[in-house]
């Protein structure tokens, strides 16, 4: 697979450090509010990346942090801690806020078929380890103590900016809000590793440290969590594009300053979801949540489809009209899956191989999910039987996570029920399972009844009963289920 690496500014063949495991780290949410659908765009695309790596046979270990301390309202070490802001807003403790919004985040992820990472680590869980890292950075001259805080000295690294082929607007998006010069800093880009002195003395969570009671900076948590769970190297680090600078830039210098060697090989950044007024953000005005999508009658998976239809490195526009169109597209897709007959034919391996080749060709090219979605439509059009189509769709959905088979089966049942109301003879499986043989027997019994051959009809019912199948006659049809 080729992946665009923000650190080298080109597409590179993806080769993990170890053939046995892909080490993948993702910046998690700051849990002071609900995640908005822009944040979730990043997580959807990262989920597709993880799932595709697994699909191609890699064993992936994915780690995500939960930011529950240290992320200030400006990414440049200024402003209030976002968690404290959330706690004040809701008259709750920081820990209560963290728990509530962490749970809400994973509930939203579940609705979007985003897999929970193998390890989820709250920032507050590893403070002792951050102190160890900072101590080593102090000892080896990469950090200094000034005005009550510990800072990373960016002048000690040969290279600081690594991602600067991004558009400048994206680069300083996090640092613009309320920037003030901090006179303690030796260099403009130096950043806080450990705060003891700050303008907001009411910081809720504080820990003892060699530099005084305080709390860690935001960047150190991601380095610390990744180093703790992966050791000295990392294959892929992901996050939204706004994290590239300063957050990821700072993660690199502090991790490499600590390790004394290169740390992470591939940096994957997802571009922003935009609304008419600009970037969707938690801090500015109204933001859109998964619950709001649902309240307006949209299926979260229609939003997932919309995200997958475009490339992760392009900005994506959101509006309610766009969402309406995405829902129509999703409904049509599910209807087409529902129209396939599960019992129709044997798996046609040549067709499977041809269809998969196109799907993988798209994804191998820097995770082109848009082509992967096109490959889904190719399946529906392909000259093969329905059983093969359903098999391939199920296979693709291991990566796409669009609920194609589940929603398709549900819709198929609904259609059958509608046919009942329309007066047709319909056979419904109570469990949703499809069994061509059972259905054929039920149909034969119906034909016998129609021909007034009641003995034959009773014989078939008994035969089914002996096979553990219970039949119930319903208006214009029959339901069946397996006993026991």
Closest distance to Zn ion from the beta carbon of 310 (Å): 24
- Cα dihedral sign for 415, 418, 422, 427? positive
Q: Is 117 in the site for ligand AMP (CB under 6 A)?
A: no
Q: Is 39 in the site for ligand AMP (CB under 6 A)?
A: yes
Q: Is 27 in the site for Zn ion (CB under 5 A)?
A: yes
Q: Is 72 in the site for Zn ion (CB under 5 A)?
A: no
DSSP character string of 198-229: -S-TT-S--B--TT-SBEE-HHHHHHHHHHHH
Q: At what angle are helices 300-308 and 37-55 packed, to 10 degrees?
A: 70
Q: Which of 3, 23, 29, 373 binds ligand AMP (CB under 6 A)?
A: 29
Q: Is 468 exposed, middle or buried (0-12, 13-18, 19+ CB in 10 A)?
A: exposed
**What's the chain's length in residues?**
484
Q: Is 310 in the site for ligand AMP (CB under 6 A)?
A: no
Q: How far apart are the first and last CA of the chain?
A: 47
Closest distance to ligand AMP from the beta carbon of 50 (Å): 14
Partner whose binding site includes residue 240, from Zn ion, ligand AMP, none (CB under 5 to 8 Å by kind): ligand AMP
Stretch that binds ligand AMP, among 12-20, 36-44, 349-357, 376-384 (CB under 6 A): 36-44
Q: Is 273 in the site for ligand AMP (CB under 6 A)?
A: yes
Enumerate residues 6+ apart whose C-beta is below 8 A from 396: 359, 372, 375, 376, 379, 404
407: which 2 tokens? 């929603």
Residue reference for tokens 């082109």: 368
Closest distance to ligand AMP from the beta carbon of 241 (Å): 7
Name the 3-class secondary structure at 164.
coil
The angle formed by the CA atoms of residues 155, 160 and 162, to the nearest 5 degrees, is: 175
Q: Which is nearer to Zn ion, 27 or 275 (CB)?
A: 27
Q: Which is nearer to ligand AMP, 46 or 299 (CB)?
A: 46
Q: Is 301 in the site for Zn ion (CB under 5 A)?
A: no
The residue with its CB nearest to ligand AMP is 240
Partner whose binding site includes residue 38, from Zn ion, ligand AMP, none (CB under 5 to 8 Å by kind): ligand AMP
417: which 2 tokens? 């029920």
Contact in structure between 170 and 279 (CB atoms under 8 Å):
no
Q: Which of 35, 123, 127, 222 binds Zn ion (CB under 5 A)?
A: 222
Phi, psi of 32 (to 5 degrees): -105, 0
Applying CB under 6 A, what is the total number of residues that bind ligand AMP?
19
Partner whose binding site includes residue 29, from Zn ion, ligand AMP, none (CB under 5 to 8 Å by kind): ligand AMP
Partner whose binding site includes residue 42, from Zn ion, ligand AMP, none (CB under 5 to 8 Å by kind): ligand AMP
DSSP classification of residue 284: S
- The arrangement of strands across the sheet holding 278-279 comes to 278-279, 273-275, 316-317
Residue reference for tokens 């594009």: 241
Q: Which is nearer to Zn ion, 134 or 222 (CB)?
A: 222
Contact footprint for Zn ion (CB under 5 A): 27, 222
Contact footprint for ligand AMP (CB under 6 A): 27, 29-30, 38-39, 41-42, 67, 239-240, 242-243, 270, 272-273, 279-282
């Amino acid at each position: 697979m080729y992946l665009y690496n923000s650190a080298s500014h080109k597409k590179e063949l993806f080769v993990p450090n170890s053939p046995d495991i892909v080490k993948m780290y993702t910046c998690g949410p700051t849990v002071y509010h609900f995640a908005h659908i822009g944040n979730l765009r990043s997580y959807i695309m990262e989920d597709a990346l993880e799932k595709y790596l697994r699909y191609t046979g890699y064993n992936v270990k994915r780690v995500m942090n939960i930011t529950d301390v240290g992320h200030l309202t400006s990414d440049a070490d200024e402003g209030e801690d976002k968690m404290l802001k959330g706690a004040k807003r809701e008259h709750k403790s920081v820990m209560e806020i963290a728990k509530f919004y962490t749970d809400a985040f994973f509930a939203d992820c579940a609705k979007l078929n985003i897999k929970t990472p193998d390890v989820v680590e709250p920032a507050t869980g590893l403070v002792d380890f951050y102190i160890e890292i900072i101590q080593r950075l102090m000892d080896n001259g990469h950090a200094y103590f000034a005005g009550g805080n510990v800072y990373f000295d960016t002048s000690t690294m040969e290279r600081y900016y690594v991602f600067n082929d991004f558009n400048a607007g994206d680069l300083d998006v996090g640092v613009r809000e309320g920037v003030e010069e901090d006179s303690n800093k030796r260099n403009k880009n130096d950043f806080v590793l450990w705060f003891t002195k700050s303008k907001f003395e009411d910081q809720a969570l504080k820990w003892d440290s060699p530099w005084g009671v305080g709390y860690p900076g935001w960047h150190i948590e991601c380095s610390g969590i990744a180093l703790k769970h992966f050791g000295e190297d990392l294959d892929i680090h992901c996050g939204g594009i706004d994290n590239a600078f300063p957050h990821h830039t700072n993660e690199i210098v502090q991790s490499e300053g600590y390790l004394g060697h290169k740390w992470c090989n591939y940096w994957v950044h997802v571009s922003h979801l935009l609304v008419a007024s600009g970037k969707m953000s938690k801090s500015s005005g109204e933001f859109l949540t998964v619950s709001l999508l649902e309240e307006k009658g949209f299926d979260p998976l229609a939003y997932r489809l919309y995200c997958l239809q475009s490339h992760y490195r392009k900005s994506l526009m959101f509006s309610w009209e766009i969402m309406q169109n995405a829902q129509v597209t999703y409904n049509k897709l599910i209807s087409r899956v529902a129209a396939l007959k599960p019992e129709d034919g044997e798996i046609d391996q040549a067709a499977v191989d041809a269809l998969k080749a196109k799907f993988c060709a798209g994804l191998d090219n820097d995770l082109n999910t848009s082509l992967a979605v096109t490959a889904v439509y190719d399946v529906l059009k392909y000259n093969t039987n329905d059983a093969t189509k359903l098999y391939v769709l199920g296979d693709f959905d291991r990566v796409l996570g669009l609920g194609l088979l589940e929603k398709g089966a549900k819709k198929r049942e609904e259609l059958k029920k509608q046919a009942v109301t329309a007066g047709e003879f319909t056979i419904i499986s109570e469990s949703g399972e499809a069994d061509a043989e059972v259905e054929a027997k039920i149909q034969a019994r119906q034909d016998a009844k129609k021909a007034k051959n009641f003995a034959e009809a009773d014989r078939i019912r008994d035969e089914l009963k002996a096979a553990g199948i219970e039949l119930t006659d319903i208006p214009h049809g029959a339901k069946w289920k397996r006993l026991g």
